[in-house]
Structure 1
Amino acid sequence: MLEIDQPSPERQAQAREQVSIWRNRAFVLVFSSYSFNLLGSTFHSIALNLWVLQTTGSAKLMSLVLITHLVASMVLGPIAGTLADRVDRRKLMLTSDWIRFGLVGLIALCMTIEATPFYVILLLTALVAIVSALRSPAFQASLVEIVGKDSVAPAVAAITIADNMIRIGGFAVGGAAVALFGGAFAVAIDASTFLLSAILLLLAGQFPYQSSRQQSQEAKPTFRADFLEGFRAVWQNTFIRSIVLLLPLVMFFFLSTFMLIQVMAVQVWRASPFVFGLLEACIPLGYVVGSFLIMKWNHRLQKRGLWILGSILLLGPCFIAIAQFDTAPWALPVIFAVGFLFSFSTTIISIALRMNVETDLQGRVFGLLGTLTSVAPPIGLAVFSALSDTFGPALIITYSGAVMLLISMAAFVFMKNTRTLE
């Protein structure tokens, strides 16, 4: 079902003529900006949460910080996406970086003043979350403007690899910085990453393939009209509608099931710390390997819709198989395969959206997707945790895999536009 077709001579010539993304100055600078930005966001999250827990001893207050970020992503996704389709996306990202540099620096200052009420920290955190939510769809939608459609696949794969590595490293570095230097200094370091991100964006200059609508001087529709147009476009375009339905479901089951695999490793397999660490590394390692292969095979991948649905289809049996193992070492290769398959489904979805959705609509599409994919995992974690406490992790993992298999089979039957995507 899944195949890699040999490229035609025409496509081979096109691949040779195509300029590497690493020779695209704008991409290299924006990619570096994104990396510092993501490091800052990850670093900020762990550093602030640890500081709250250390200074207040309250898990509830730490949860309140997490909920603040979640609510901002949920509420502002479509609004931020609409804004990203109306203004210069580079300027929107720049504004976000400058504001967060100031806000996070102010948080670090407040953390050094013992009399600062907690609600001030929480208010500043909410503002940081709001500004961060405005940046995300602007970046996602600007990739085509930076590299052009011909180079979207390797650019998305490169960003995916960096995303995983930075998230893992960011949590580790953030925790170490709090332990070594204290929360306030760690958050001050975090503020500097947003400053670096802004400087790199300035150096990148205007994006080479800026969308025609943003370049136009003609009168634009109202914000409300653009906002509603985004929802209409998602509903009327069968491909976009399929992805908006499918991707949050995949995130719901994937992340929730992976959490139960961790529970199973402790409760059922009695995994040693070393084996548990290997288990934790298998998913991101598989994801990075999958993304690297996508970047390398960009011009050889055919029938992308089958790659997307086939990868999702195979996730279900992998989860069912993992639930049947008695010890963790036997499960490690299958867990690696899960990360690999998850990469092939989500990364190719990201590429397909950029290739098949109008550039001037991508902010709204990615804004809506960001909202749905940020809401689905916490709901799944809550539901799956409760079920696992009652019935045990192995049974729930098995049922999760079976439901994922049914969903992917239904997608093969009913999502023709996705299945036939080239």
Structure 2
Amino acid sequence: MVRLFAHPADADRRRDHLPARRPGAHPALRGGDVPDLVRFGIVWLSSLVSGVGSSLTGFVLGVWVYQNTESTTLFALVMLSGLLPAILVGPFAGVIVDRFDRRRVLIISDCVVAVSTGVQALLLYNDALQVWHICLGSLVGAVCGTLHMTTYQAMTPLLIPERHLARANGLMQITVATQIAAPLAAGALLGAIGMTGVLVLDLVTFAIAVTTLLVVKLPASVVKAPGAGSAKAPLADLSYGWHYLRRRRDLMSLTLTFTAYNFCFAVAGVLVQPLILSFGSPAVLGALMFAGGSGVFLGGLVMGVWGGPKKRIRGMGVFMLLGSLFLVLHTVRPDPWVVAFAAAAFLFTLPVVQGSGNAVLQSGIEPDSLGRVLGTVHSIGGIASPFAYLLAGPLAEHVAGPLLQPDGALASSVGSLIGTGEGRGIAFVILADAVILLLVAVRVLFLREPAPKKTEEVPDAVATA
């Protein structure tokens, strides 16, 4: 008989090693320690700086691919090479985060991506860079990025008191603002220091992040999971997050909600740039992307100050509902000012939704299970994005577009509301996306707040072969 999964008794042995916890105290803050928000802020800021550098690198390498190949297929391949691995590696990342020193995981993942970026910079400088190099670099970045994100989200509730979790997660969403606004900053940097210079700048930001992790002292209970060092039943660890979510139907419902939300967000994200270019110039696109990034940035700051709604699930539903209305506003007419406001307002809701949802997950999962469960949540939530990318474009171009030509079948009905002609098929798909998001929001409003975390660990499944 070969045991493939851990026995429930293993959970008892792991539980015996958990440090005592006084009521209401946070595991990283026992003994009357004051919550060290300053240390979290320093680490978060260094991660934000590194995220800015990575966003700039991703943008300029995408520009390089399109300029040198003029192939949208190869451009899409680069995007997928940075997306699919992040989905597949989630459970593996969770196991690593729950079993190894988390500071080392962060440092090693940063160093691996830095080496990859450095190699690409050398290849670019020597005029030897090829598309497959960039695809490989995107794959490495996606794997290490998933490790990085899972580690941070597993560490946050051990370093931050529960009442501040939504605030901290909202601030972490500011990284999305840097990704959206990267084209504007990268355009200026390309003229000043060139593509190789942008990649070297990214290496500097990695050095800042790694140095910060080496210098800032974090509590041992934050960087080392209670079950660290265990090499037992690796297959059980990989499937643990799935079994956990199946047992916790409240958290599974929240995870599926995130999946639906990610689908709606991805559809809007992949179509908004073609929508803007259907009536505006590349300069207008850059300005409106900056406006959208400003919305995320402001939303993250507001969450940092406000801390989010007290009823987190209900707050998610309300802000999803607002987001669906702002998506509708994208479609009413092809006006840069209208779309600029709609984009900023829609993306303002993102930190509230994501910050509140992540706080619910983190406060509802036992500390020694956080990595494995969050890794599974990331994989399930990320599944929707590739489908959104594959469906949105063809629907807008080959289905909705012809229907909303001046002589199309929907010209006299839907066309009377959102117009006809170039780009109106894209607007129609975004409008349908807004309706889906509205339905998701209504569903969320009827979800119950998840139960607080239990004191015992959910047992793994047992199987024999």
Q: TM-score, normalised by structure 2?
A: 0.74
Query: Which of these residues, 352, 364, 370, is aligned with residue 356 of structure 1?
Result: 364
Q: Deviations over 1:239-296 (max 9, x none)?
A: 22012101121121133135545544454xx457776556434433333333333322
Are residues 1:314 and 2:326 paired? Answer: no
Query: Which of these residues, 128, 137, 155, is aligned with residue 142 of structure 1?
Result: 155
Q: 1:121 to 1:287 in 2, by over 3 A?
A: closer
| Structure-2 separation of matches of 1:366 and 1:219 | 19
Q: 1:259 to 1:49 in 2, by over 3 A?
A: closer
* 3-state SS of paired residue (2:89): helix
Q: 1:286 to 1:18 in 2, by over 3 A?
A: farther
Conservation of the 8 A alpha-carbon contact between 2:36 and 2:159: no
Conservation of the 8 A alpha-carbon contact between 1:31 and 1:159: yes
| Structure-2 separation of matches of 1:107 and 1:275 | 31
Which letter does structure 2 place at the counterpart of 1:109?
L
Conservation of the 8 A alpha-carbon contact between 1:256 and 1:384: yes
| Structure-1 separation of matches of 2:182 and 2:85 | 21
Q: Deviations over 1:131-158 (max 9, x none)?
A: 3332221122111233343432332222
Query: Which of these residues, 399, 416, 421, is aligned with residue 448 of structure 2?
Result: 416
Conservation of the 8 A alpha-carbon contact between 2:84 and 2:386: no
Which letter does structure 1 place at the counterpart of 2:448?
K
Identify the range of structure 1 (241-250 vs 305-314) with the bigger mean alpha-carbon deviation.
Answer: 305-314
Q: Give 2:265's aligned residue.
A: 254
Query: Which of these residues, 310, 330, 352, is aligned with residue 344 of structure 1?
Result: 352
Identify the range of structure 1 (72-81 vs 380-389) with the bigger mean alpha-carbon deviation.
Answer: 380-389
Q: CA RMSD in A?
A: 3.4
Identify the range of structure 1 (85-94 vs 182-191) with the bigger mean alpha-carbon deviation.
Answer: 182-191
Q: Give 2:200's aligned residue.
A: 188
Q: Deviations over 1:178-230 (max 9, x none)?
A: 4443433332332232222111100113336427x724678563221112111
Q: Give 2:240's aligned residue.
A: 229
Q: Give 1:102's aligned residue.
A: 115
Identify the range of structure 1 (49-58 vs 395-404) with the bigger mean alpha-carbon deviation.
Answer: 49-58
Superposed counterparts of 1:3-152, under 5 Å: 24=38, 26-56=39-69, 58-114=71-127, 119=132, 122-152=135-165
Conservation of the 8 A alpha-carbon contact between 1:50 and 1:175: no
Identify the range of structure 1 (332-341 vs 34-43) with the bigger mean alpha-carbon deviation.
Answer: 332-341
Q: Give 1:6's aligned residue.
A: none
Conservation of the 8 A alpha-carbon contact between 1:82 and 1:230: no
Q: Give 2:292's aligned residue.
A: 283
| Structure-1 separation of matches of 2:441 and 2:267 | 17
Q: 1:71 to 1:215 in 2, by over 3 A?
A: same
Q: 1:103 to 1:272 in 2, by over 3 A?
A: closer
Conservation of the 8 A alpha-carbon contact between 2:250 and 2:451: no
| Structure-2 separation of matches of 1:114 and 1:348 | 46
Which letter does structure 2 place at the counterpart of 1:286?
G
Which letter does structure 1 place at the counterpart of 2:232?
P
Query: Which of these residues, 214, 224, 229, is aligned with residue 202 of structure 1?
Result: 214
Query: Which of these residues, 241, 251, 259, is aligned with residue 252 of structure 2?
Result: 241
Q: 1:58 to 1:181 in 2, by over 3 A?
A: farther
Q: Give 1:159's aligned residue.
A: 172
Q: How far is the alpha carbon of 1:373 from its aligned partner?
A: 4.1
Q: Deviations over 1:8-36 (max 9, x none)?
A: xxxxxxxxx996865x2x31331133123
| Structure-1 separation of matches of 2:438 and 2:452 | 19
Which letter does structure 2 place at the counterpart of 1:416?
R
| Structure-2 separation of matches of 1:376 and 1:255 | 8
| Structure-1 separation of matches of 2:46 and 2:276 | 37
Q: Which has the higher helix share?
A: 1
| Structure-2 separation of matches of 1:274 and 1:127 | 32
> What is the percentage of aligned positions where both structures have the same residue?
22
Conservation of the 8 A alpha-carbon contact between 2:325 and 2:434: yes
Identify the range of structure 1 (50-59 vs 347-356) with the bigger mean alpha-carbon deviation.
Answer: 50-59
Q: How far is the alpha carbon of 1:409 from its aligned partner?
A: 2.4
- Segments of 5+ residues of structure 1 without an aligned counterpart are 1-16
Q: How far is the alpha carbon of 1:73 from its aligned partner?
A: 0.9
Which letter does structure 2 place at the counterpart of 1:188?
V
Conservation of the 8 A alpha-carbon contact between 1:50 and 1:183: no
Q: Deviations over 1:104-138 (max 9, x none)?
A: 22222233334566545544553344333322211
Aligned residues: 397
Identify the range of structure 1 (67-76 vs 285-294) with the bigger mean alpha-carbon deviation.
Answer: 285-294
* 3-state SS of paired residue (1:214): coil
- Segments of 5+ residues of structure 2 without an aligned counterpart are 1-31, 401-424, 454-465
